[in-house]
Amino acid sequence: MEELLKKILARNKHLTKQGKVADYIPALKKGDPNDLGISIFDTKGNIYIAGDYDKKFTIQSISKVVTLMLILRDWNEEKVFRKIGVEGTDDNFNSLYKLDMPHIGKPANPMVNSGAIVATSLIKGSSSEEKFERLLNFFRTLTLNDNLVVNEEVYLSEKETGDKNRAMAYLMKNKGLLQGEVEEILDVYFRQCSIEVNCKDLSNIALVLAADGKNLSTGEEIVSKKIADIARTIMATCGMYNASGQFALDVGFPAKSGVGGGILGVIPNKMGIGVYSPALDSKGNSIAAIGVLKDLSKELDLRIY
Amino acid sequence: MEELLKKILARNKHLTKQGKVADYIPALKKGDPNDLGISIFDTKGNIYIAGDYDKKFTIQSISKVVTLMLILRDWNEEKVFRKIGVEGTDDNFNSLYKLDMPHIGKPANPMVNSGAIVATSLIKGSSSEEKFERLLNFFRTLTLNDNLVVNEEVYLSEKETGDKNRAMAYLMKNKGLLQGEVEEILDVYFRQCSIEVNCKDLSNIALVLAADGKNLSTGEEIVSKKIADIARTIMATCGMYNASGQFALDVGFPAKSGVGGGILGVIPNKMGIGVYSPALDSKGNSIAAIGVLKDLSKELDLRIY
Amino acid sequence: MEELLKKILARNKHLTKQGKVADYIPALKKGDPNDLGISIFDTKGNIYIAGDYDKKFTIQSISKVVTLMLILRDWNEEKVFRKIGVEGTDDNFNSLYKLDMPHIGKPANPMVNSGAIVATSLIKGSSSEEKFERLLNFFRTLTLNDNLVVNEEVYLSEKETGDKNRAMAYLMKNKGLLQGEVEEILDVYFRQCSIEVNCKDLSNIALVLAADGKNLSTGEEIVSKKIADIARTIMATCGMYNASGQFALDVGFPAKSGVGGGILGVIPNKMGIGVYSPALDSKGNSIAAIGVLKDLSKELDLRIY
Amino acid sequence: MEELLKKILARNKHLTKQGKVADYIPALKKGDPNDLGISIFDTKGNIYIAGDYDKKFTIQSISKVVTLMLILRDWNEEKVFRKIGVEGTDDNFNSLYKLDMPHIGKPANPMVNSGAIVATSLIKGSSSEEKFERLLNFFRTLTLNDNLVVNEEVYLSEKETGDKNRAMAYLMKNKGLLQGEVEEILDVYFRQCSIEVNCKDLSNIALVLAADGKNLSTGEEIVSKKIADIARTIMATCGMYNASGQFALDVGFPAKSGVGGGILGVIPNKMGIGVYSPALDSKGNSIAAIGVLKDLSKELDLRIY
């Protein structure tokens, strides 16, 4: 298996030259475009790693899956989806025009920025510090990694340049779709996006999702089966932004990407995958990571559709 | 199994009272809102039927899956998806505003009307008669039903009232996204929507998709595995219009609905399902049919996500 | 005065090289880009002409002003403006996306294509022939020119290529904003756009508007003062499409342009102007004609604002 | 003349019952809906007043005309209109969706909120305090009223509830259409909207515009004739938001409304008008003030079109 991974990485290495490391946040530009790594944890306890599997990067939008799981623990499903939709969209991940239309009453889904900001606002806690604290602890539980921290440089950079997110948040607040202080909500949001992980951390989160919400080592239920089902399903239809349909065709299992270059993939009841390569395509997804997942899906017959 | 189906139908019968039979086409109003039927064909050769499984209804948008398969046989995948997108959308199935934006170059996907019209235009044939002939034959091959015909009353009704589809088609033609004579293309489109089927016909189509493109009785490959993969995947992300995400959450397998009241469902490598109940929700999907599929999915553990 | 006109034409002649003769209709491409002519009729009975004042061109969108006057004679103001708005718009003249929004209930104004198509549909008459006959007669009355005819080549060309207008019309019909047969309404619309005029014809129409609806030679009231007021006002706010605001700044009196290269200008109580030069800017307005009107406005102090 | 004004006020008094005092800002709700006043200063030095002409109200959007004049003094016309459009729009005054479209590069005009915010950002000054100081002084010069101050309660209320304006500003900043610190720009914007005036103050501003930029008492040129021309023209095409076209039809001269209930009207070379009545229609314009201007226009034959 590790031979296969090495082969697949080698085969896709040239794709790292094609994309562009995210530059909308100055601190992100520092990612090494040559990096390419993968880590797979299966439900039988096997671990497979290859390439730059231990390089750190910020989790970015992949955090949206974790926040979704947390608010589904904090609140019931009905309440959450009264405020955030569950439909895929062909608009960009940071689009906001539709929220200005009188007939639109909530963001499309929790994987686009507007929906993720509402999701973050729903984390329980008496202050934004407490909310983030709870979220970070939840991340640590999912990754089995107590050392997980925020990359302060990226966080400050996000905060400084996050004007499109501010626009969305203020628009939603004005329309009654978002409650609370915008800057406080965004502060938690920018922090969650700036948590530093590596491929193994992603695999751990993904494995919990593959195992219907359980920590397989301890047998502990971290989230209910229902929440794991929801998270995987929304990843399947919305996880790769407005390239989710293409990804479903090309790869064929639930996944979530981040502009840090990571992709978290889940094969239900089989395995959790983390891939990393920071050079992105025009829709904000890692080109080489998608290439790797495509090959992996074909070689191991992982399509679920 | 047939006991289970009867129980599930009975449990969901009350939902037939909640929706509204489609009335945008006068001829559709004639559907009996009390009808509820199901038919399941599995890959082992078993057939399960219950309720109004042999009532006829027009296939409507479910035909879009068949047209997609045909054009993917007629042309290569690249050509087809250069003209039609593959992304889910949170816009209505008959929305057209986005096509008027300068930065939009193709319909969102082949399951919304604009994309389906482009798909129909791509059927090979020297005349619209020949195109429809080829499509109808393909339908008959898929359903193993040589008696499949167009309901002339519905067809004429569609043709008379299809102004929103005309608007879309002329807009796309003007923008160079659609080639050919609009009224001829729409004529084929209205005919394909008016083909009359019953639950068993849907099951037969679905079974071919479940069996990776094969006719399981004869072993014949009707479409390639690749085409079956594509069709199932696009059904999964776009098959229930802008309720595809909700359906993925509630039911969890590829499906396609039509305003005639039918839903075609596919469990990869397992079974093909046809359900029928004409009372629709506000997004054009059959309420009771969705209820039935939801129960079935839970009872038989059919979620793929 | 004619000296002044010659000087102004000469000064703006170089602008004829900058624009592009309309090519969206094949027949329009034949316009000679070097043409530049003007004709001014004042309320005291003076006539001033210069340049290619007698060259023929199709009236195109300038006809929208005439149709508006006719339907305001046919129906009362309330009825007309319940179906067509009176607001300027920053969208293109052939934009239709907004009409697909649930909260939009009528076209922006009668000078953009969607509004003009609704206007044409409101002309009284038992058939499209009779409607056009009435409109053509009204044109002849306004221009004092009984020889006014349709340029058949342009008309057929418009009809063949008018798909964006068809898209608009079918969309509005579907939404209940347009009554009648789309192709019949468009047939009248395409004919009205293809009426052939010269600068003097435009001046005659404009003079009636300048004279509050009267034929100054005979004293006859062709339209009421109220209708003339409305027509001039809507020309002022919407007459140059989404360049109406810029034109108001640069020139400063009511005007209406057409893609044939003509502009009709009105100085209330003073004069009616017709200018012609077929090379257009990107918004469909004649570049040299605007240049001429700008100079004329400055030299004769014609701003009304 | 004052008799006429009294008669017109009496005739329109009942309209004060029809609208609704603005409530989007809590502090605005305090306006007395029965108030109705008018003040007219003509270019010959006559002053006519009637009704509640000396009641104070906040200037709100009428300030946009003053800011426009100031930035046209601070910068040349080209620079200003490279950043702000000059076209009327059929969208709401606080619409922002269009700014999220890739093909849109500036706000529609300086009278809608997005354009006004850009205008405010262009006021010269090394700090927001200095910018507002310069603007307030300019207001005092135009109104000949050194006592003009900000209503602090309204200002704080605007600041607290101005989330839609924040959304616009952050969106424009993200897109590079707005330079500077959003909260600082909005602070100046909220202050300018909260300046307290009465009808006489509005008449004074309007008289300067009627007199081509001059203070008629002293002969001093406050702004150039060109700037006065621009301001009047943009008021004519965009001054009453997406009811500017209707106002042009019904009243027929340049005007600017504010949600405080004031309307400033200008009859070029003749008079400056201030009207006040706080009950608004659904588009944010004072119902009774429009009624008064309509009657006045008819009685004194003030239409310019």
List the single residue in A with minimal CA-CA distance to B244: A87
Per-residue pLDDT, C27: 79
Question: Is residue A13 annotated as part of the catalytic site, yes or no?
Answer: no
CB contact under 8 A, B230 and A236: no
pLDDT of D271 above 90: yes
As beta bridge partners, residue C280 has C20, C286
Going residue by residue through chain A, which has 305 residues, state the pLDDT in tens, using 9 for 90 and above. Answer: 889 999 999 999 999 999 899 887 777 888 899 999 999 999 999 999 999 999 999 999 999 999 999 999 999 999 999 999 999 999 999 999 999 999 999 999 999 999 999 999 999 999 999 999 999 999 999 999 999 999 999 999 999 989 999 999 999 999 999 999 999 999 999 999 999 999 999 999 999 999 999 999 999 999 999 999 999 999 999 999 999 999 999 999 999 999 999 999 999 999 999 999 999 999 999 999 999 999 999 999 999 99
How does DSSP classify residue B92? -
The secondary element (H helix, E strand) that includes residue D279 is strand D279-280
- pLDDT tens per residue, range B237-293: 999 999 999 999 999 999 999 999 999 999 999 999 999 999 999 999 999 999 999
Side chain identity at A280, as an amino acid letter?
L
The pLDDT value given to residue B28:
83
Please check whether residue B163 is in contact with residue B170, taking contact to mean a CB–CB distance below 8 angstroms. no
Q: Which of B231, B224, B234, B230 is nearest to B206 (CA)?
A: B231
What is the number of CB-based contacts under 8 A between chain A and chain D?
Answer: 54
Average pLDDT over chain C, rounded to whole? 96
Task: Give CA–CA dist B88/B106, Å, rounded.
Answer: 13
pLDDT the model gives residue D113: 97
Alpha carbon of D55 to those of D13, D35, D140, D152, D267: distances in Å? 16, 8, 18, 17, 23
Is A241 catalytic? The answer is: yes
Check the CA dihedral A82-A88-A90-A95 and report its sign.
Answer: positive
pLDDT at D109 over 90: yes
Asked if B174 lies within 8 A of C163 by C-beta distance, the reply is yes
Number of neighbouring beta carbons within 10 Å of residue A79: 12
8-state DSSP, B263: E
Q: What sign has the CA pseudo-torsion B106, A86, B249, B34?
A: negative
Q: Taking Cα atoms as reference points, which of B188, B148, B169 lies closest to residue B59?
A: B148
Q: Which residues contact A303 (CB under 8 A, 6 or more apart)?
A: A251, A252, A253, A297, B229
Residues of D in contact with A163 (CB under 8 A): 170-171, 173-174, 182
Q: Of all residues in chain D, what percent carry a pLDDT higher than 70?
A: 100
B177, exposed or middle or buried, with CB in 10 Å at 0-12, 13-18, 19+? buried
| pLDDT grade for B22, boundaries at 50, 70 and 90 | confident
- For the segment C81-137, what is each residue's pLDDT rounded down to a tens digit? 999 999 999 999 999 999 999 999 999 999 999 999 999 999 999 999 999 999 999
Residue C164: pLDDT band by 50, 70, 90 thresholds?
very high
Place of tokens 């639950």: B199
Q: Average pLDDT for residues D109-117, to the nearest whole number?
A: 98
Judged by DSSP in three states, D103 sits in coil
**Predicted TM-score (pTM) of this structure:** 0.96
Closest chain A residue to D169, measured at CA: A167
A48 is catalytic: no
Note whether A173 contacts D163, CB cutoff 8 Å: yes
3 state SS for A63-124: HHHHHHHHHHHHCCHHHHHHHCCCCCCCCCCCCCHHHHCCCCCCCCCCCCHHHHHHHHHCCC
Complex ipTM? 0.95
Cβ A170–D163 below 8 Å, yes or no?
A: yes
Q: Look up A305 and say whether it is catalytic.
A: no
To the query of whether residue C189 is one of the catalytic residues in this protein, the response is yes
H or E segment at A276?
A: strand A271-276
CB A65 within 8 A of CB A112: no
In a mutagenesis test of the C interface, which of B24, B163, B165, B177 is the best target, namely the one with the most C β-carbons within 10 Å? B163
Given D21, D63, D64, D121, which residue is catalytic? D64
Q: pLDDT per residue over D199-241, tens digit each?
A: 999 999 999 999 999 999 999 999 999 999 999 999 999 999 9
Q: Above 90 in pLDDT, residue D111? A: yes
pLDDT bin (cut points 50, 70, 90) of residue C24 is confident
3-state SS, chain C, equals CHHHHHHHHHHHHHHHHCCEECCCCHHHHHCCCCCCEEEEEECCCCEEEEECCCCCEECHHHHHHHHHHHHHHHCCHHHHHHHCCCCCCCCCCCCCHHHHCCCCCCCCCCCCHHHHHHHHHCCCCCCHHHHHHHHHHHHHHHHCCCCCCECHHHHHHHHHHCHHHHHHHHHHHHCCCCCCCHHHHHHHHHHHHCEEECHHHHHHHHHHHHCCCECCCCCCECCCHHHHHHHHHHHHHHCCHHHHHHHHHHCCCCEEECCCCEEEEEECCCEEEEEECCEECCCCCEHHHHHHHHHHHHHHCCCCC
Instruction: Output the six-digit token pair for B150.
Output: 């167009």
Tell me D197's DSSP state.
E
* Active-site pick, A48, A64, A106, A157: A64
Given a cut of 80, whether residue D144 has pLDDT beyond it is yes
The DSSP symbol for D47 reads E
